[in-house]
Amino acid sequence: MSDLVAAVTGASGGIGRAIALRLAAAGATVAVAARTETAGAETVSLIEAAGGRARFTRVDVKRASEVQGWIRETAERLGRLDWLVNNAGMNGRSARLEDYAIEEFEEVVDTNLLSAFYAVHAAIPIMRAQGAGAIVNIGSTASLQGYGLLSGYSASKHGLLGLTKSIALENADIPIRANCVCPGPVDTPLMRSIEVLVNPEDPAAAHELFAQTTALKRYGTPAEVADAVHFLLSDAAGYITGTALSIDGGVMTGV
């Protein structure tokens, strides 16, 4: 797979960094996009230290021109675009819907949903022209069920799953496959920020609470999510498209 080119948003840490490292280990050249230059460059350094190939571009995923310019430049410089992973995301503030400022809600939707649309909008013509491609959108268990006090997050992650299904249906003729990975509690900075939102005085108690919602009674690791993303992008998942894969330790299995 040494000729493959992958693009990953939000790859400055957590799940996004783990995905970038995993795809590079599989032989792909990885275009790393993140808003924080220092952390994004660190991801590239980690990939290169392990013998892989990567390049970093500072991208604000809320800006369509930056996202689409990065996608097109990646394909032009590296010759193609085989894999796209839309990972960039944010929680938003924990609050009742009526207490949200409109601008706050819009920011969460822009970051979690519209950014993926911008990237796919630019990537699909490239993938169609080359005759193949695979896309994975990083959703959440909030793509599959609602969460009180996180209306923006829940709405945007539900929307991301719907977008994934439309991409899969519209591009099956090539085929360009699209799937949505839905992590549950995973040990990342994003999850730790949720713990603080839930219990500012005792985030450790919130950690234990979330761990107990899983059948396996533990958090997942970014590497476990990255392995699943690589599988869905690879030819081993050639008959899988338009689906949501829960990587949640059994959260969605039931009580």
- CATH code, domain carrying 162: 3.40.50.720
> Which member of 118, 153, 219, 239 is catalytic?
153
- Same-domain check for residues 132 and 190: no
pLDDT at 1 over 60: no
| Of 6, 82, 90, residue with least CA distance to 43 | 6
Region 76-99: mean pLDDT is 96
**Buried b / exposed e along 35-54 (16+ C-beta atoms within 10 A):** beeebbbbbbeebeeeebeb
Region 20-34: mean pLDDT is 98
Number of domains in the chain: 2
- Same-domain check for residues 107 and 207: no
- Same-domain check for residues 24 and 119: yes
pLDDT at 197 over 90: no
pLDDT of residue 75: 98
- Same-domain check for residues 107 and 203: no
- Same-domain check for residues 208 and 168: no
pLDDT at 46 over 90: yes
Region 229-250: mean pLDDT is 98
**pTM of this structure:** 0.97
- Same-domain check for residues 195 and 100: no
- Same-domain check for residues 117 and 199: no
- Same-domain check for residues 125 and 229: yes
Question: CA distances (Å), 56 to each of 9, 117, 201, in order?
Answer: 10, 21, 37
- Same-domain check for residues 140 and 46: yes
Report yes or no on 252 lying in a domain.
no
Separation of CA 195 from chain center? 20
- 2 pLDDT tier (thresholds 50, 70, 90): low
- CB–CB of 252/141 below 8 Å? yes
- Same-domain check for residues 145 and 242: yes
pLDDT at 147 over 70: yes
- Same-domain check for residues 240 and 229: yes
pLDDT at 255 over 80: no
- Same-domain check for residues 97 and 213: no
Q: Is 153 a catalytic residue?
A: yes
pLDDT of residue 88: 97
Question: How is residue 69 written in tokens?
Answer: 């310019």
Report yes or no on 255 lying in a domain.
no
Q: What's the domain range around 37? A: 5-184+222-247
Report yes or no on 108 lying in a domain.
yes
pLDDT at 198 over 90: no
Mean pLDDT of the chain: 96
Report yes or no on 112 lying in a domain.
yes
Question: CA distances (Å), 253 to each of 9, 164, 179, 247, in order?
Answer: 29, 22, 20, 11
Report yes or no on 29 lying in a domain.
yes
Region 147-169: mean pLDDT is 97
Q: Which of 24-28, 90-94, 141-145 has the lowest mean pLDDT?
A: 90-94
Say whether the peptide bond before residue 200 is cis (omega within 30 degrees of 0).
no
pLDDT of residue 190: 85
High-pLDDT (> 70) share of the chain, %: 99
